[in-house]
Structure 1
Amino acid sequence: MKSLLSLVLLSSLAAVSAVQQPLQPPNHEAPIRTSPQPLVDSEKLQAHIHADNLLKRAKELYKIAQLGVEEYHHPTRVIGSNGHRGTLDYLYSTLSEYSDYYDISNQTFDAIVGNVFGSRLIFGSSQMSAAPMSLTPPTPGKEPVYGPLVLVDNEGCDPSDYPKNTTGSVSLIRRGICSFGAKSEAAGRAGAIAAVVYNNYPGSLSGTLESPSKYHVATFGLSNEDAQPYIKDLQAGKIIPSYAWIDSIVRKTGTTNIIAQTKGGDQDNCVMAGGHSDSVSEGPGINDDGTGSLTLLEIATHLPKYSVENCVRLAWWAGEEEGLLGSDYYVSQLSPEENMKIRLFMDYDMMASPNYAYQVYDARNERNPNGSQELRDLYTDFYTAHGLNYTYIPFDGRSDYDAFIKHGIPGGGIATGAEGIKTRAEVAMFGGTAGQWYDPCYHQLCDDVSNCNLTAWELNTKLVAHSIATYALSFDGFPKRTGIKSDSAVEDSPYHGPDLFM
């Protein structure tokens, strides 16, 4: 951590949530300076990347996450915490050492943050393995509530789905059709004292209620497998007494995006890359997304050795874990003219999963803004040139590229995997363990320094450097922007951020 004073100043900035400070574009009146540095070169920029330096930064970030212990009782960098304020200070103070090369901006906005301190769900005499939804309210008075378990018709999206005996009950609701927040609100309006949403696919279920409502009730996610025996009993007319308890808070906080843009290069043609600076409340988030944030920071410290033909804009988003809040806010504040200056956006989220696969977002031009596929092919060409395998993963709105592609900006990115299950075929391609998550510590307390695969991290950081250097040098052959609206069909998805919302 470079400066306690800057931590205090930045913490104060984030705390003043009533004052919006939109990003100011660089001063274009001053002539672009003639740089003594050589032009950026991909191979030379990659040569500065070493796993030891990345590991050193990861250890520093974990120390910063420990600033969250006092409030959260464990290390965390969730927005609104001292751990996140310390992260912002570390990013800002490091970038400030290169203020002759970058214009550095803070962009503060309001956000909603939640924390669950404890929970329990019991059906009959069995304690359930249920996960409280993100941004769930507590049970009344943060005390346990008791009532019969009641099965809701259909997907619980319509008031008519709730039977007359919903009042005073714990509602059991099937996932689907509408958002988790809409289900919680409908249950609350019908008189339920708590809600449990069960999955309609194999596996556990966690998600977010998103924007708070006064009608939301304490809400859990439950696997389909755990729910089925109780559904059958309810359908057979059995009465199942239930117990629900959640101790949580949901509050408003101010938080901050950090943007660094090169002073040099064509300011009307910018290559942009971003990662998110926050973690979930449950852990320190060193892989998710400390690795993405630190990848960009490490590259940002070496790029000043070179001049660029096109401007480079780097972003560290806040509030990604709460639903892509920072990137959504950023794009919403762009004028049409500023939007058009961004030739493409590259998203870097989770670069070093321990059971990794080299994953490339399957961004195709027919479904996304023109240029997304060219970016996808740059990544795959890099892996191929290095004799490495790769896989395509859905481009489904799960990370900070979402707002960009919805506003006509080509996008893409790479990752190494989250809670998905690694297959035997992928073990043959990448090594690792079949049947386990790519990141077994995803969104957990164990996402610490030991959770990072340094081989994958160094290789992917070199690829990120290659992607930035390539477009900082030239956009030759890359499609020109034609408008701020995408002509392609960006599909709706059950994600807005890493948590399911429906």
Structure 2
Amino acid sequence: MKLNIITSSLILSNIANAAVLPQAVFEIEDYLISSIDSLPLVNSTELQSLITTEALYSRAEKLYEIASYSNKSFGHPTRVIGSKGHWGTIGYIKNELKSLNNYYNVTVQPFKAFMSEVFEFNATINNEIPKSLIEMDMTPPTPNKKPVYGELKLIPNFGCNDDDYLNISNNNILLIKRGECSFGLKAQLTSKFGAKAAIIYNNEPGEIRGTLGVPPDGVSVAPCLGINLEEGLKYESLLLNGEILNTMIQIDSFVGPITTVNVIAETNHGNDENIVMLGAHSDSVSAGPGINDDGSGTISLLEVAKQLTNYRVNNKVRFAFWAAEEEGLLGSNYYAESLTLNENEKIRLFMDYDMMASPNYEYEVYDANNIDNPKGSEELKNLYIDYYKSHGYNYTLIPFDGRSDYVGFIEHGIPGGGIAAGAEKNNAENGKVLDKCYHQLCDDLTNIAWDAFLVNTQLIAHSVATYASDLTDFPVREIENSKLNSMSFAYRGDKLII
């Protein structure tokens, strides 16, 4: 049966390079449809059986090789947007999908984004370098990339309101607690009230990770670094006791606009009034190659897309590979916001697959429901739970709070859900961090739990097969759920945490 599709592809290629009558094109199109119709309807068990660890490993090796295209410019492998590693990733995704015998219509969606690279950073507080000091993505450099000096000033509350900044001067560097609002707003208010820079400290145990995001047009942003809770509380205590903490911050960074692309692949058959959609992000942070985050999701989708070509589907399946997730979910939000109302309502559900293979993994399911989220989100959650339970795996419910690419869909009334293997938090069973290389250079081929990778990719295959074959029991989209901006999440992006 596969031979028929391949033969059709070759004939179409010949037609594209020769003058032929329109009737011949119609005949070939009919032949393609006949070839698809001759395939068996997708079956979950069979589709899962085609997913192998060997195939996942081969793709991971290729993705790491592609990340190395950035070595000359960045000094290490990375697939951050704008890099050769990311453009190579885009090319790899497109070529892989286009090689699948015209099973998919593959398109790209360009959009403008901001890229960020922090080349060097440092800070001292009373001549001591904080041990947990870390850069904030999308931070501007200090003026002329040189050090700035000032007294450290503690900002009350969470630094989310103008009133929190009434007693600062332009000689201050600010200490601000994480929480209540985005890192970006804290950086904007720091600049608005004339302080030189800010240090944001975590409000929970563990390393702080964040992005300042893309500022509104004309809004100034102050340079920012981060530290953990333990050190933040130490400096807070000293300041509350009246001590003067002389502080220095120096940041050499670049923040600027670029154009990047989403890649979308949709089956050329199936009911286009019932679109089953799933996505992963194609970019990494600048610090490393991102083989788990989210190379693993990219690889899973590519392998499921490949094996799906052995079957026909009743409902169209649309695979999305988002760019600029690490800059604040820019690609997926742009896509969701660009949908017309008619296009929106054809998408029956969206499934998000970000970080499938964390080395100290847990099987995480987004805790969606049909009260706070569009109707159907809870059914998605239950599909994942039932799968893990039926295979004897423990699972963990995690907040459905807007930290990944599903958020734009939920906000636009489209049911959503997804799974993950974990990022910066600790595993409840052994107390160790789920991904010790999260957003770091060591997120490479050694940073993958191959058993979890296989299980989660097979679950992705199960989710696709289930809904591509039948949506009869899945809640029908409701008109009121299609209203744009129907919801708003405080958390946006796995780094735009508050």
Equivalence for 2:270: 265
Q: State how far apart, in whole Å, the 2-side matches of 1:99 and 1:439 are.
A: 37
Q: Map Cα deviations across residues 405-451 of structure 1 (whole Å, 9 max, x no partner).
A: 11111111111111110123xxxxxxxxx121111111111100111
In structure 1, what is the Cα distance between the partners aligned to 2:479 and 2:75? 48
Contact 2:124 2:249 survives alignment (8 Å) = yes
* Structure 1 pair 203–166 and aligned structure 2 pair: CA distance change class (3 A): farther
How far did 1:99 drift? 4.8
- Seen in structure 2, the aligned counterparts of structure 1 residues 390 and 178 have a Cα distance that, compared at 3 Å, is closer
**How far apart, CA to CA, are the structure 1 residues paired with 2:419 and 2:160?**
35
- What is aligned with 1:439? 435
Q: 1:398 and 1:164, CA in 2 relative to 1: closer, same or farther beyond 3 A?
A: closer
Alignment of 1:241-280 (within 5 A): 241-280=246-285
Shift of 1:181: 1.8
Q: d(CA) in 1 for partners of 2:386 and 2:167?
A: 60
* Deviations, residues 193-246 of structure 1 (Å, cap 9, x unaligned): 111122233333221111236521111122232022322322232222111111
Q: Distance in 2 between matches of 1:155 and 1:463?
A: 40
- The code of the aligned residue for 1:80 comes to G
Query: Aligned letter for 1:136?
Result: T
2: CA distance, partners of 1:481 / 1:494: 25
SS across alignment from 1:196? strand
C-alpha deviation, 1:491, in angstroms: 7.2
* Mapped partners of 1:338, 1:132: distance in 2: 40
Task: Show the counterpart of 1:350.
Answer: 355
1:390, distance to aligned residue in structure 2 (A): 1.4
Tell me, yes or no, if structure 1 residue 141 matches structure 2 residue 144: yes
Question: CA RMSD of the aligned region, Å?
Answer: 1.9
**Pairing of 1:300-339 with structure 2 (within 5 A):** 300-339=305-344
Corresponding letter in the other structure for 1:154: N
Q: What SS does the corresponding residue of 2:453 show, helix, strand or coil? A: helix
Q: CA deviation at 1:67?
A: 0.8
Name the structure 2 match of 1:92: 94
Residue 293 of structure 2 contacts residue 439 of structure 2 at CA under 8 Å; is this kept in 1?
yes
- Please give the per-residue CA displacement for 1:53-72, whole angstroms capped at 9, x wherever unaligned: 10000000000000111221
Structure 2: how far apart are the matches of 1:488 and 1:340? 11
1:24-46 residue CA offsets vs partner (Å, 9 max, x unmatched): xxxxxx88923221111111111
What is aligned with 1:499?
495
Quote how far apart the aligned CAs of 1:75 are: 0.5
Q: Give 1:162 deviation, angstroms.
A: 2.7
Instruction: Please tell me whether residue 67 in structure 1 is matched to residue 91 in structure 2.
Output: no
TM-score if structure 2 supplies the norm length? 0.89
- Give the superposition deviation at 1:290: 0.6
- Which residue pairs with 2:4 in the alignment? none
Residue 488 of structure 1, CA deviation: 13
Are the structure 2 counterparts of residues 101 and 181 from structure 1 closer, same or farther at C-alpha, using a change threshold of 3 Å? same
Asked if 1:56 corresponds to 2:58, the answer is yes
Instruction: Quote how far apart the aligned CAs of 1:492 are.
Output: 5.2
Tell me what 2:15 maps to. Answer: none
Classify the secondary structure of the residue corresponding to 1:476. coil
Amino acid at match of 1:338: E
User: Partner of 2:178 in structure 1?
Assistant: 175
Deviations 1:462-481 (A, max 9, x none): 11111101111111211111
Query: Matches of residues 126-275 of structure 1 in structure 2 within 5 Å?
Result: 126-128=128-130, 129-212=132-215, 214-275=219-280
C-alpha distance in 2, partners of 1:493/1:220? 24
- The 1:149/1:463 distance shift into structure 2, 3 A limit, reads same
CA distance in structure 2 between the partners assigned to 1:485 and 1:442 by the alignment: 35
Partners of 1:172 and 1:157 lie apart in 2 by: 13
Aligned to 2:345: 340
2:480 maps to 1:475: no
Q: Match of 1:350, SS?
A: coil
1:124 to 1:372, Cα distance in 2 relative to 1, 3 A: same
**C-alpha distance in structure 2 between counterparts of 1:409 and 1:234, whole Å:** 47
- The 3-state SS of whatever aligns with 1:127 is coil
Residue 423 of structure 2 corresponds to 418
Q: Partners in 1 of 2:483 and 2:394 — Cα distance?
A: 32
Kept in 2: contact 1:368–1:490 (CA 8 A): no
Structure 1 residues 165, 399: CA separation in 2 closer, same or farther (over 3 Å shift)?
A: closer
With 343-352 and 183-192 compared, the bigger mean Cα shift is at 183-192
Alignment of 1:25-44 (within 5 A): 33-34=33-34, 35-44=37-46
Letter in 2 for 1:437: V
Which one-letter code corresponds to 2:467 in the other structure?
Y
Shift of 1:178: 3.0
- Find the aligned partners of 1:488 and 1:276 in 2 and give their Cα distance: 23
Residue matched to 1:13: none
Is it true that 1:371 corresponds to 2:373 in the alignment? no
Tell whether the 8 Å contact from 2:160 to 2:180 is kept in structure 1 after alignment.
yes
Deviates more, 1:491-500 or 1:438-447: 491-500
**Which residue number in structure 1 is paired with residue 126 of structure 2?**
124
Work out whether residues 407 and 489 of structure 2, in 8 Å CA contact, stay in contact via their aligned partners in 1. no
CA distance in 2, matches of 1:493, 1:272: 21
Contact 1:407 1:484 in 2 (8 A): no
Give the CA deviation at 1:256: 0.5
Give 1:304 shift.
1.3
Displacement of 1:137 in angstroms is: 0.4
SS at match of 1:89: helix
For 1:442 and 1:365, how far apart are their aligned partners in 2? 31
Change (3 A) 1:306 1:165: closer
**Residue identity in the other structure for 2:137:** S
Equivalent position to 2:105, from 97, 103, 106: 103
Partner of 1:451: 447
C-alpha distance in 1 between matches for 2:353 and 2:178: 30
- Partners of 2:122 and 2:250 within 8 A in 1: yes
Contact 2:281-2:298 within 8 A present in 1 as well: yes
Q: Are the structure 2 counterparts of residues 328 and 489 from structure 1 closer, same or farther at C-alpha, using a change threshold of 3 Å?
A: closer
SS across alignment from 1:346 = strand
Equivalent position SS for 2:276:
strand
Structure 2 counterparts to residues 383-422 of structure 1, below 5 A: 383-422=388-427
Q: Give the drift of 1:182.
A: 1.9
SS of corresponding position for 2:331: helix
Which has the higher mean CA deviation after the structures are superposed, 187-196 or 479-488? Answer: 479-488
Distance 1:68 1:484 in 2: 46
Relative distance call for 1:475 and 1:214 in structure 2 (3 A) is closer
What SS does the aligned partner of 1:147 have?
strand
Query: Aligned pair count?
Result: 464
Distance in 1 (alpha carbons) for counterparts of 2:446 and 2:220 = 42
| Residues 109 and 254 in structure 1, CA contact (< 8 A), matched pair in contact too | yes
Give aligned-pair identity as a percent: 49
Cα separation, 2, equivalents of 1:190 and 1:91: 45
**1:360 maps onto 2:373 in alignment:** no
Distance 1:411 1:337 in 2: 18
Q: Could you tell me how far apart the structure 2 residues matched to 1:44 and 1:113 are?
A: 41
Partner residue, 1:462? 458
